[in-house]
Amino acid sequence: MFVSVSEIIKIAAIVVSGTMVGNEFAVAVFFHPKISSLNDETHVRAAQSLASALGAAMPAWYALTLILSLALAFILRGNSPAGTLALIASALFVVSIIFTVLLLVPINNKIVKWDLDSLPGEWQQLRQRWDRLHVFRVVILFVAFILLVLAALTN
The per-residue pLDDT for range 130-141, each reduced to its tens digit, is 999 999 999 999
19/13 Cα distance (integer angstroms) = 10
2-54: pLDDT as tens digits: 889 999 999 999 999 999 999 999 999 999 999 999 998 999 999 999 999 99
Closest CA to 145 of 79, 90, 67, 94: 90
pLDDT at residue number 79? 76
pLDDT at residue number 3? 87
pLDDT at residue number 73? 96
126/122 Cα distance (integer angstroms) = 6
Task: Answer positive or negative: Cα dihedral of 36, 39, 44, 47.
Answer: negative
64-114: pLDDT as tens digits: 999 999 999 999 998 789 999 999 999 999 999 999 999 999 999 999 999
109-124: pLDDT as tens digits: 999 999 998 999 999 9
Closest CA to 109 of 29, 47, 155, 64: 47
pTM of the model: 0.93
72-101 core/surface letters (b: 16 or more CB in 10 A; e: else): bbebbeeeeebbebbbbbbbbbeebbebbe
